[in-house]
Amino acid sequence: MYHHVDGRDGIVELLRERVASAIDPGTLELTPWDEALEAWARSYRAAFAAHPRAIPLLMTSPVRAPRVLAQYERAVSLLLAAGFDRALIMPLVIALENLVLGSALDLAAPETMWELTEHAPTPHLAEALAAVGEGRADRAFEVGLTAFMNHARVVREDG
Amino acid sequence: MYHHVDGRDGIVELLRERVASAIDPGTLELTPWDEALEAWARSYRAAFAAHPRAIPLLMTSPVRAPRVLAQYERAVSLLLAAGFDRALIMPLVIALENLVLGSALDLAAPETMWELTEHAPTPHLAEALAAVGEGRADRAFEVGLTAFMNHARVVREDG
């Protein structure tokens, strides 16, 4: 429980608990470990995408909220139990968070993110944008998440 | 050239050009394509890490600056020439940007990002943090970038 609010840091932690409370804690209980990690990442992205303005603040302030620390403890325990080298666990978790939070910020971007102009033609960019169609943010997240999960599986087997 | 400043949008684009001007354009001229993309990602991260407060604003405003559009044109052309399916190019570029910009924001975080407390013990998190040592942000970026590059190579061969 986190009831004591102590100045600015305390307010940041209340905000962190509020945003993180939308992450489904059941995801980290799934088996096998890779299904759990992937489901956690999707739920984490959805929770933070609902509060894009909070992302830069929460990413650059130390994590103190006990309930949020408990969620990291659960994620780390999952990867330890799955057999990952302990020195690799935080780099993996942080890499996944960078992707998740970058993608959550991207969900707050306009659907038309590149405004092309006749004054400076960019024909290949126009072609690539036309080919991707709608839902570019979700498709990019899927690419990043697939890349991450495949890498995590390989790293675990090598460890 | 981008000389005409038109209200808020124009100011955002001046900021975008300023930040992006630190990305080494020579990276996208390297061969082979994967060396170019990886070098571009590293230079892109360093450029934006110098201006972490600008990241959320630039990520959520449409890109209009001709010099920045030209850099996207170059990156898309590189991937088209390397043989990627055109519908996959923007999802790949955006996934890489999400990782790069998430990691750039993470560089603005304190080195001690998790402040553990005796009131809510997190022994596995403590163990994982002790094992990673210093430079956690750089190590996480390397993990994410390796995952992305390996995936891009596989996707290209399958395409």
Note whether A56 contacts B60, CB cutoff 8 Å. no
In a domain, A59, yes or no: yes
Please say whether the beta carbons of A101 and B52 come within 8 A. Answer: no
Interval A4-36: pLDDT, tens: 567 888 899 999 999 999 999 999 999 999 999
Residues of chain A in contact with residue B139, where contact means CB-CB under 8 angstroms, are 90-91
Which member of A66, A79, A93 has the closest CB to residue B117? A66
Q: Residue B41 has what pLDDT?
A: 98
Note whether B63 contacts A114, CB cutoff 8 Å. yes
Interval B10-40: pLDDT, tens: 899 999 999 999 999 999 999 999 999 999 9
Instruction: Read off the CATH number of the domain in which A26 is found.
Output: 1.10.357.10
Q: Which two tokens stand for residue B122?
A: 């997190």
Task: Reduce the DSSP state of residue A32 to 3 states and report it.
Answer: coil
| Cα→Cα distances A14→A48, A63, A70, A73, Å | 14, 11, 15, 19
In a domain, A73, yes or no: yes
Q: Residue A4 has what pLDDT?
A: 58
In a domain, A41, yes or no: yes
Residues of chain A in contact with residue B17, where contact means CB-CB under 8 angstroms, are none
Interval B41-68: pLDDT, tens: 999 999 999 999 999 999 999 999 999 9
Q: Which two tokens stand for residue A21?
A: 């409370």
Residue A6 CB partners (closer than 8 Å, separation 6+): none
| Cα→Cα distances B46→A33, A106, A154, Å | 33, 19, 28
Mutant choice from B17, B105, B138, B145 vs A, greatest count of A C-beta within 10 A: B105
Burial bucket for residue B156 (CB in 10 Å: 0-12, 13-18, 19+): middle
Please say whether the beta carbons of A40 and A75 come within 8 A. Answer: yes
In a domain, A49, yes or no: yes
Q: Which two tokens stand for residue A135?
A: 């839902």
Q: Residue B75 has what pLDDT?
A: 98
User: Residue A26's domain spans which residues?
Assistant: 7-158
Task: Reduce the DSSP state of residue B65 to 3 states and report it.
Answer: coil
Q: Mapped to the 3 state alphabet, what secondary structure does B95-159 carry?
A: HHHHHHHHHHHHCCCCCCCECCCCCCCCHHHHHHHHHHCCCHHHHHHHHHHHHHHHHHHHHHHHC
In a domain, B44, yes or no: yes
Note whether A102 contacts B98, CB cutoff 8 Å. yes
Distance CA B99, CA A49 (A): 16
**Distance of alpha carbon A61 from its chain centroid, rounded?**
16
In a domain, B2, yes or no: no
| Structural domains of chain B, count | 1
Q: Residue B1 has what pLDDT?
A: 44
In a domain, A84, yes or no: yes
In a domain, B22, yes or no: yes
Interval A84-127: pLDDT, tens: 999 999 999 999 999 999 999 999 999 899 999 888 899 999 99
